[in-house]
Structure 1
């Protein structure tokens, strides 16, 4: 049973979510903490505390971390995070020292995509793209059944494609990035603007958060829209339309068979995805003369990041164990290898 359990940790812009995950992708126990956004040391402390708490109740052998940022090709260092304080942060080795466990670090969207490919909406699909809509937009590719990370490990940052030159400022330092128009932050910005203008929509939003504008988030907007609020629905439709434009661009570049949309904003389901599909159909290059990829909601919800990170970490640990069991090289095998290289 020990080999079956791994801890998956999904570090987003607002929450650190963790769970003990078995070999079949089932989450046996969950924990959640607020993300310390200004201190890498505080994030490390939160991770160590979560791991220690879960290890008291489960025998685990590895930790997988899905981090909201650019992770290098060795899956060890967070190079940059637009929403957190990581800058060339050696997260894998730091967590390994604090926990004594095998650790893997990957981009949070890569982890979510892997979970959907292994256990969720993208099973049996060789080529897929996953988009996670939360604070920003994460993205990941699976090509020929393998995660595609790019030469430097940071492929899939689709949220930072520029769709409006000289558009809205983005935390990444550029202007007009897709995530400024098609993410939870876009919903929040629209909601707070309605509050500032004193609109009835803003008043309805404030009622949901007991008058605390700081508590406004994308989930509040989604909740209102599902209840039929026209202004909340309009806001979601606008985000969905921008999402569809981004997906059409990705289809032109990669031509996958399937797009999976996850993250907290995807809870709006067809209120978001139908306008996305419409915009995709009207924007797709070669529309009417080519097959169209499907756009579906992720199956694993907010658990996808932790499930994928845990499964990745377990896989790497198994490979490492197999590598340690290989027979030592003899003088004869060394000579053969040397001759082959020559």
Structure 2
């Protein structure tokens, strides 16, 4: 078994997605030193088995103190049960206790956006910040709020659902059951939806076709000067700016960290989004505006963050659980 430095305890962090699960050994400097990926099983027992398999494979070579799981789903406030995860088989499942019993190790369970936020706070773009939010844009929008080094979970454990703010009354239907949610206008899938709507209007030239277009296709076409794609990305940027303004008016963070799958193309829309935020905030011309930064850890933020949370939980001298 390997431990690169006796002063740097190792833990395993997991990013549990609907398609794949990734487990990595992470040291206390936030470095991933080994990583394994597996397809995500469709049944609950199979998912537990896959996680145990990856942990056993990694700890055959590395001495680890704890395991953390970052899950895209609703958890209870105590962070021991997955209430519902739309792309996973767990429903009111006591994941923490069941997995800890099988592994013989402390286990920490966390929402994926909160885990990513903690990773950025400890090792990424939000280091040293005392009041900030993560605004993660991918297939949908994830969010997290960090105040004085503590993740704000809310009274029931689901605070930070920025993507499901009702931005447009009776607007586009959302998978959550509501209509007009912000993520239906500002996300990778929303970008494709906007492009399809513009194609059907037929007023702008484009090489895109309505029957086969993704958010990534739109970004690529925009970069190539496609007129319709440019309009779709401009609309996306406007909604992102409005979303930033909503968060600024409600939470008033000093920093907004933009994460998620769309950050690789931030040069095409982020400046416009920040301009719209300033124009849309209440009293925006008079009050300070949040700084907006792109996340530094990319797709590894959740894995690194939850591994650090697990390390704190396992440490006898931990400063306490940073989650409220």
The TM-score with structure 2 as length reference comes to 0.86
CA distance in 2, matches of 1:81, 1:247: 26
CA distance in 1, matches of 2:14, 2:310: 11
Structure 2 CA distance for partners of 1:246 and 1:321, relative to 1, 3 Å: closer
1:8 aligns with 2:13: yes
In structure 1, the partner of 2:157 is 153
CA distance in 1, matches of 2:47, 2:189: 22
Q: Contact 2:188/2:214 (CA < 8 Å) preserved in 1? A: yes
In structure 2, the partner of 1:340 is none
In structure 1, the partner of 2:93 is 89
After superposition, where does 1:1-342 map in structure 2 within 5 Å? 1=3, 4-36=9-41, 38-190=42-194, 200-202=206-208, 213=212, 217-319=214-316
Structure 2 CA distance for partners of 1:49 and 1:136, relative to 1, 3 Å: farther
Structure 2 CA distance for partners of 1:192 and 1:140, relative to 1, 3 Å: same
Deviates more, 1:167-176 or 1:250-259: 167-176
Structure 2 CA distance for partners of 1:9 and 1:312, relative to 1, 3 Å: same
Structure 2 CA distance for partners of 1:80 and 1:320, relative to 1, 3 Å: farther
Structure 2 CA distance for partners of 1:304 and 1:322, relative to 1, 3 Å: closer
Tell me by how many angstroms 1:321 deviates: 8.5
Structure 2 CA distance for partners of 1:17 and 1:180, relative to 1, 3 Å: farther
CA distance in 2, matches of 1:259, 1:322: 25
CA distance in 2, matches of 1:228, 1:57: 50
The TM-score with structure 1 as length reference comes to 0.82
CA distance in 1, matches of 2:238, 2:198: 20
Tell me by how many angstroms 1:159 deviates: 1.1
Q: Contact 2:18/2:40 (CA < 8 Å) preserved in 1? A: yes
CA distance in 1, matches of 2:38, 2:233: 27
Structure 2 CA distance for partners of 1:34 and 1:101, relative to 1, 3 Å: same
Cα RMSD of the aligned pairs, angstroms, is 2.8
SS at match of 1:264: coil
In structure 2, the partner of 1:334 is none
CA distance in 1, matches of 2:38, 2:215: 19
CA distance in 1, matches of 2:70, 2:308: 11
Structure 2 CA distance for partners of 1:161 and 1:14, relative to 1, 3 Å: farther
SS at match of 2:262: helix
CA distance in 2, matches of 1:16, 1:195: 36
Q: Contact 2:73/2:86 (CA < 8 Å) preserved in 1? A: yes
Structure 2 CA distance for partners of 1:193 and 1:148, relative to 1, 3 Å: same
* Structure with max Cα Rg: 1
Structure 1 or 2: larger helix share?
Answer: 1
Unpaired runs of 5+ residues, structure 2, are: none
Unpaired runs of 5+ residues, structure 1, are: 207-212, 324-342
